[in-house]
């Protein structure tokens, strides 16, 4: 079973240094019209990751590969998309595993594991408990792009995650 050990919002190429792992996967929670760009960025990330060994860096290789992510990250941001990396560790079939799941989504995105009574979380908040939905590929996730959509879905009685709700308040522009 894998458990999240870190959540990183990937805003610039150097943010990728925290998430280099031998195993990586992706979730795409983006509008259909942006999925091709998100998948192209993912393919660049995974191509780079396959060349990097997290415990052994050939001189400058990791830096060069991470720097190559600048353009795809900028394109995603221009389209209002975000990339969040969730690093998990644990064991699978008795073997120690460390993996990174990249989540490509609109910004903002509130979510919860589908079919559960879990609270509603904010993607990218420092809430490892909420991001456990991305610790594997077998969990379906329900997402909302606005508070109005969430309020309507829960008929005004939203089970907010306190950590994520506070993170959302901290990111709101001051009046």
Residue 161 has pLDDT above 90, yes or no: yes
CA-based radius of gyration for the chain? 16
- Do the beta carbons of residue 167 and residue 126 sit within 8 Å? yes
- Predicted confidence band at 6 (pLDDT cuts at 50, 70, 90)? confident
Q: Please tell me which of 57-71, 138-152, 156-170 the model is most confident about, judged by mean pLDDT.
A: 138-152
pLDDT above 70 as % of the chain: 84
> For residues 109 and 82, is the Cβ–Cβ distance under 8 A?
yes
Q: Tell me what pLDDT residue 18 has.
A: 75
Question: Residue 106 has what pLDDT?
Answer: 92
Among 44-48, 106-110, 112-116, the least confident range: 44-48
Q: What is the pTM of this model?
A: 0.83
Give the pLDDT score at 173.
Answer: 40
pLDDT in the model for residue 53:
59
| Residue whose tokens read 């190429």 | 13
Q: What are the Cα distances from residue 141, in Å, to 135, 163, 167?
A: 12, 19, 20
How many secondary structure helices (H) and strands (E) does the chain include?
5, 7
């Amino acid at each position: 079973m894998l458990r999240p050990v870190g959540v990183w919002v990937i805003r610039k190429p150097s943010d990728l240094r925290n998430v280099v792992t031998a195993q990586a996967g992706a979730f795409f929670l983006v509008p259909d019209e942006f999925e091709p760009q998100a998948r192209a960025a993912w393919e660049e990330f995974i191509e780079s990751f396959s060349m990097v060994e997290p415990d052994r860096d050939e001189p400058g290789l990791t830096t060069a590969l991470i720097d190559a992510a600048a353009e795809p990250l900028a394109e995603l941001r221009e389209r209002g998309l975000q990339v969040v990396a969730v690093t998990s560790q644990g064991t699978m079939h008795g073997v120690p595993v460390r993996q990174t799941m990249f989540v490509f989504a609109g910004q903002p995105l509130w979510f919860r594991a589908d079919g559960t009574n879990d609270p509603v979380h904010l993607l990218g908040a420092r809430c490892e408990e909420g991001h456990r939905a991305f610790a594997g590929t077998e969990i379906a996730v329900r997402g909302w792009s606005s508070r109005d959509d969430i309020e309507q879905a829960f008929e005004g009685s939203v089970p907010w995650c306190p950590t994520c709700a506070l993170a959302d308040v901290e990111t709101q522009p001051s009046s």
